[in-house]
Structure 1
Amino acid sequence: MPAEHSDDAPALTPEAVAAALAALGSYAYVPTSQDLARDAATVGGEHVLAALLANALYGAAVATAMAAETRMVQRGATAEQVTLARRQVMKAAGAVGPGVVTVLHWQMAQVAGPLYGWSQHKTLGPLGEAMAQAASALVLLLEVTTATGDDDARLADLNDQVRQALRRLEDSHSRLRELLASGDGLARVAEAWRGDQG
């Protein structure tokens, strides 16, 4: 489920997101208004392009944060300083109270997608499936926590999602036991992973 925002919020434009990407140095060539208009027509409209660019901006920001954190730690940052830095994610997202869960749910869905892709690689064995199922379960459980009370119209569906999450966690548990029972399972996974990265 995508994160929900107020209809009163100003529409995000491709130009605004492209400017932010340019500020992060993500473009070898900064697109013109004509470029963006052409891209919007190709992908299905400005609203689609804005979302595509915003996700690209998210990826660029993650890479920037990882590099900055690594440098900070290498220069002797404390655990408290690392925690302070990471708190800025929710702060910048404007997430407070229930909004924190909404952001976490969106972030976890971002994680679950690639993990599902890995689960299709048979060379990764049961570990890929275990990770995908666990991530999918967490996405479901985070959505469950968005329920507003006993009168929430989604409550029946959310109860079903808890059952789905339980089944996926049980499957993940089973896959991990299968991995450990295989003896050389982890070694084979590491070898397969190196091959995929090559």
Structure 2
Amino acid sequence: MEFKIRHTWDGVPVMHEPVCVHLHPQTGGVMLEVTAPLFNDPPAPAGASGEPFSGLWDYEVVEAFFLNDKTEQYLEVELCPHGQHLVLLLAGRRNVWKQELPLSFQVSKGETQWEGKAYLPWSYFPPSVTRFNSFAIHGSGSRRIYEALYPVPQQELQPGQMPDFHRLEYFQPLQFSVILGDQWKQPESTLWPKPTP
């Protein structure tokens, strides 16, 4: 599955090569691959490359959200071109209940582009993922840019509205069975509580 982030959070076309997000099946999970322009703004976080970094959303980052829209349980994965990452598990909008999970994440940078590969085990995904969105952020201060794969429709924007990546109602359907086959069932997670019947 390939997705290209072509708009800002409020539906304005981006003025650069779009961020590309790929999802590939792997044994025991999913490989999340990112190819993105390198803005190098803001500068790299102070945390070590390859380690979780709290507050990574304040830096240059690409994010992927995997949602069960019935329970509002979701996985948020943040990847930084400087090698830091952040994995959050949320139960309800903005309700983080587990964070800074370990992540196998490799990154390579050129002068104008970066690529990242993160392995997401099935245990990180909430049961029955149904929807998805992806975001990219870069820039400092008044030049901060927020981009979204599925932006807020322009006819629904309110005066003074600010970017909010937890507007779950704008996420769009995602079916892993498209790449894993119709008979595929999402494995049970050892992290998430089992859904009640």
Provide TM-score, normalisation by structure 1.
0.22
Structure with greater helix percent = 1
Structure with greater strand percent = 2
Provide TM-score, normalisation by structure 2.
0.22
Q: Decide which structure has the larger Cα Rg and report it.
A: 1
